[in-house]
Amino acid sequence: MAIPDLLAALEQHQETRRSIAHIEVTPAREAVFGSLVPPLPEPLEAYLARRRIRLYSHQCAAIEAIREGRSVIMTTATASGKSLAFNLPVFERLVQHPDATALYLYPTKALAHDQLKGIREIEQYTGITTGCAVYDGDTPRSRRPALRERARILLSNPHELHQILPWHDRWRTFFSRLRFVVIDEAHRYRGVFGSHAAFLLRRLLRIAHLHGGTPQFVLSTATVANPGEFACRLCGMPVTVIDDDGSPRGETQFLLCNPYSEGAGEGSTHRAARDLLARCIQHGLQALCFTTSRKHAELLALHTRAALVTAGEEGAALAAYRAGYLPGTRRELEENLKCGHIRGLVSTNALEVGIDVGTLDAVIIAGYPGSIMATRQQAGRAGRRNDGSFAALVASHNPLDQFFMHHPGALFEGASEHAIIDLANPYIVAGHLLCAAAEAPLAAADCARYFGDGSAEIAGALEAQYLLRMSKGRWIYAGRGRATEAVGLGSGSGETYRVLCNGSVLETIDRSQAFREAHPGAVFLHQGETYLVDDLDVEAHRIRLRKEETDLSTEPLTTIEARIIAGRFRRDAGGLGLVFGDVEVVEHTVSYRIKRYDRVIATEPLDLPPLRFATKGVWCTIPETVCDRLARAGLHLAGGLHGAEHALIGIMPSLVLCDRRDIGGFSSSWFPSTGSPAILIYDGVEGGIGLAEKGYALFEAIAAAALAVVRECPCDDGCPGCIYSPKCGNDNQPLDKQATEMVLEEIVALLAGGS
């Protein structure tokens, strides 16, 4: 009865009670089992029997679809047995076809190693030999030939696959027998990385076909709103969606806690999370708390420990967890959690990724983690089978968090966000055409079949630059060096910057990210650690930084100019025009602010060249009638447009899976390109990454949500919870909250009337 007691205690405490925005109770659910006709091969049935596993309905549905040769994507909940649902049919096929091979791709090396254990276990129980192994950058050279020749299941990651494909001749045996490509954690292949992965998989498919292999794809993902569309874009073929979850679940109480329910006042996310965590531990619940940065994690652990001691609750073991722990430390921590020595753990989002801490009694999420998907994944860590579980989301003071506090339905009832993969970014397409041509001569027919309609035209342009040469109707790679080396899977534009700390490369980032996040003086975040940027060398494409433990953060202030190149799709509604198309943007980062939490300490000037790039955008032109109405009401047009732009950008990540830094905005009461007042939202990645395009499709919903945020915010003149933007280059000037509300009302009304 710990959870009801906890809730009662929270109700009694006045400050806490005020901050409770909502409690969502999800009732317990019985398991729904299924059966397979025909049953699995005997050794696999025996394995299930020995482990006392009965298959849930969704696992059977997945296995049957895979048996029929279809590609599938599974979107059921955390811990619903997705791995088993793809391992069983893979093993079944390997029994039936002693030659068949399967390639498993995981987003990281660590995850592949984690998952190998499960596959080995099936292999050992059943005696079905697959020679399964991890094949990645760490695989010793001497072991590689044998693995390529003999292993029937190989686990790898996209970066390794990118390096493997040019050597496909050595992989002839494996690729010619390839029946399955299994992609776990598919939701992580989105944005720029997703586009790269999509083209990488097309390269894989082309090479497999070349050697006679015809794989089907098996994907698993956290919940996204558009699994079918997403999977089809990722692997380039129609995919069956398996989403009817048959796994059982205990009752959960999900608390939404808003320390800013009365505007910016006494409360803070940090304090509220501390109190909740302390109370969970006091009530005997083993709890896990997620924060957005490592510094927060450590401070929260410290302050919660202090609070517990004050309450006379000594000895409650509380630890902080972060990325980059050595395997030994990690295992020790996992063990201590499992046996209950640790009662509470505060972690950055690093723990989200495939670390097995089992399930706990309670999860507290301090600050919305950026997506509904991540929120559900994190909350999913709470949920012991028999007892109930408790989860809490503590809001920060920004539009997204505040939106969910006022609209719990958006968090609990609907699907989560749309996961976006853009297949039309010409920079990314061009990079993979170069790689493909270096792997095997590339015919125009290959371009159309694998790389999209316009890709032959791009190949032609690459030929004109002597990067490709035409030989008997096929393009062959003729550039310098290795194509795969020039094409990084993490960056969009042609230019990348290396981020160096003590001479070693931490990561590579693209130009726009470098200017925004790694200008001199910036506090740079890498895996939850803070670094201070010493130097950004534009010529050498190099950023030098040093490790610096700090609770400061920096925000660039960027002025933006934008020009429309051409529209592609357009809708009109009562004088309002909504267009998706190509734009050119000039971003100029002129200064940056240094902040300690929410407080600005100083503003420093910067001397960086302006950043000019072509990308995709969605823009909305505002009709005269709306301007007149604003004028009659004595409201400020520019302030309204500016506020609406901020609100739209702030809320867009609730519908489209992205970070608000991935999109940029521009508004003006006289936009020369359209000859009218307009609001523009564009993709921050050179060439576009599909966000604005999805924004065009979902614009009504985005505008309605933006309006709700502005309308429901208790502030008078605008605040970080509604129309203030942390990255505004004009220092949030001019902004007019009333005008913003009116502009958004008009947009929503016109779009509703026109459609």
Partner 1 sequence: MGTGPLVTTVADSWRQRIDSQQEYEVARDGNIFAVGFAGSCLFSSEYARAVRLKQTLAEHHAGRTLEELFCGAEIDTPCGACYKITSREQIDLRVPDPHRIRERLSSDLTLVCGIGPKIEARLRRRGYATLHDLCSHPRYRAHARGILALLDRSDPGEMRRMVMHRYPASHPRLLGLSAFHAIEDFLFFDIETLGLFSRPIILFGAGRIAGGEIEVCQYLLRDIAEEEAAILATCAHVQRDRTALVTFNGRSFDLPYFNDRRAYYGHPGVAGISHYDLLHFARRRWKHDLPDCRLQTLEHLMHGARRTDDVPSAMVPEFYATYLKTGNPGPLIPIVEHNRQDVVTLARLFQRLFEEWYGNP
The Cα–Cα gap between 188 and 372 comes to 14
- For residue 433, what are the CA distances in angstroms to 436, 470, 487, 494, 585? 5, 13, 10, 14, 26
User: Contact with partner 1 (CB under 8 A): which of 335, 457, 628, 731?
Assistant: 457
Cis bond upstream, residue 38 (ω within 30): yes
Q: Which two tokens stand for residue 751?
A: 């779009």
How far is residue 310's CA from residue 225's CA, in Å, rounded to a whole number?
A: 45
Residue closer to partner 1 (CB basis): 248 or 454:
454
Stretch binding partner 1 (CB under 8 A), from 185-193, 367-375, 435-443, 674-682? 435-443
Return d(Cα 85, Cα 48) in angstroms, integer: 12
Strands, sheet with 72-74, edge to edge from the N-terminal-most edge strand? 133-134, 153-156, 101-105, 178-183, 216-220, 72-74, 240-242
What torsion, rounded to 10 degrees, do the Cα atoms 265, 269, 274, 277 define? 130
Is 478 strand, coil or helix?
Answer: coil
Among 90, 197, 424, 743, binds partner 1 (CB under 8 A): 424
458 scored as a contact of partner 1 (CB under 8 A): yes
Taking the complex as a whole, the smallest distance from the CB of residue 232 to partner 1 amounts, in Å, to 18
Q: What are the beta bridge partners of residue 74?
A: 220, 242
Q: Does 659 bind partner 1 (CB under 8 A)?
A: no
Question: Distance between CA 190 and CA 92 in Å, rounded?
Answer: 31
**SS3 category, 255:** strand
Q: Least CB distance from residue 153 to partner 1, whole Å?
A: 25
Q: What is the strand order of the sheet 20-26 is part of? A: 20-26, 252-257, 389-394, 362-366, 287-290, 344-347, 318-321
| Smallest separation (angstroms) from partner 1 to the CB of 478 | 5
Restricted to residues 172-211, the positions that interact with partner 1 (CB under 8 A) are 210
Q: Point out which span in 6-14, 410-418, 473-481, 587-595 binds partner 1 (CB under 8 A).
A: 473-481
- Beta carbon nearer to partner 1, 582 or 598: 582
Residue of 358, 420, 56 lying closest to 231 (CA atoms)? 420
Q: Footprint of partner 1 on residues 602-621 (CB under 8 A)?
A: 614
Residue from 129, 465, 603, 625 touching partner 1 (CB under 8 A): that is 465
Which of 388, 431, 639, 653 binds partner 1 (CB under 8 A)? It is 431
753/623 Cα distance (integer angstroms): 14
349, 375 Cβ separation under 8 angstroms: no
Can you read off the two tokens belonging to residue 435? 């790689």
Minimum CB–partner distance for residue 493 and partner 1 (Å): 7
**131 or 479: whose CB is closer to partner 1?**
479
The window from 365-373, 471-479, 602-610, 742-750 that contacts partner 1 (CB under 8 A) reads: 471-479
H/E element holding 296? helix 294-310
Query: Toward partner 1, which CB reaches closer, 323 or 614?
Result: 614
- Least Cβ distance, residue 424 to partner 1 (angstroms): 5
Q: Could you tell me whether strands 178-183 and 101-105 are parallel, antiparallel, or unpaired per DSSP bridges?
A: parallel
Q: Of 429, 620, 651, 655, which one interacts with partner 1 (CB under 8 A)?
A: 429
Name residues contacting partner 1, limited to 353-372 (CB under 8 A).
none
- Region near partner 1 per CB under 8 A, out of 312-320, 410-418, 434-442, 602-610: 434-442
Choose between 462 and 622: whose C-beta lies nearer to partner 1.
462
166 binds partner 1 (CB under 8 A): yes
Task: Tell which one of 68, 169, 244, 549 touches partner 1 (CB under 8 A).
Answer: 169
687 near partner 1, judged by CB under 8 A: yes
The three-point CA angle 662-667-671 to 5° equals 125
Cα–Cα distance measured from residue 482 to residue 219, given in angstroms and rounded to the nearest whole number? 30
Neighbours of 11 (CB within 10 A): 12
Residues numbered 574 to 593 that lie near partner 1 (CB under 8 A) are 582
Q: Is residue 443 part of the contact set for partner 1 (CB under 8 A)?
A: no
The pair of structure tokens assigned to 606 is 């910067």
715 binding partner 1? (CB under 8 A): no
CB closer to partner 1, 106 vs 451: 451
Q: Applying CB under 8 A, which of residues 88, 438, 606, 630 lies at the interface with partner 1?
A: 438
Write down the least CB distance from residue 457 to partner 1, Å: 6
Minimum distance between the CB of residue 98 and partner 1, rounded to whole angstroms? Answer: 25
464 binds partner 1 (CB under 8 A): yes
Cβ proximity to partner 1, 113 vs 541, nearer residue:
541
Binding partner 1 by CB under 8 A: which of 70, 113, 330, 469?
469
CB of 492 to partner 1, least distance (A): 11
Nearest approach, Cβ of residue 147 and partner 1 (Å): 19
Q: How many residues bind partner 1 (CB under 8 A)?
A: 47
Q: Is 116 in the site for partner 1 (CB under 8 A)?
A: no
Nearest approach, Cβ of 497 to partner 1 (angstroms)?
A: 12
Burial class of residue 372 (count of CB atoms within 10 Å of its CB; 0-12, 13-18, 19+): buried
User: Is 530:524 a contact under the CB 8 Å cutoff?
Assistant: yes
Determine if 434 is a binding residue for partner 1 (CB under 8 A): yes
Of the chain, the end-to-end C-alpha distance in Å amounts to: 52
What is the contact mask toward partner 1 in residues 475 to 504, using x (rule: CB under 8 A)?
Answer: -xxxxxxxx-xx------xxx---------
Give me 405's structure tokens: 């506090």
Binding segment toward partner 1, per CB under 8 A, in 38-46, 66-74, 153-161, 422-430: 422-430
Contacts of residue 189, defined as CB under 8 A and 6 or more positions apart, other chains included, come to 107, 158, 183, 197, 198, 234, 421
* Residues of this chain that bind partner 1 (CB under 8 A): 166, 169, 210, 424, 426-427, 429-431, 434, 438-441, 452-455, 457-458, 461-462, 464-467, 469-472, 476-483, 485-486, 493-495, 565, 582, 614, 687
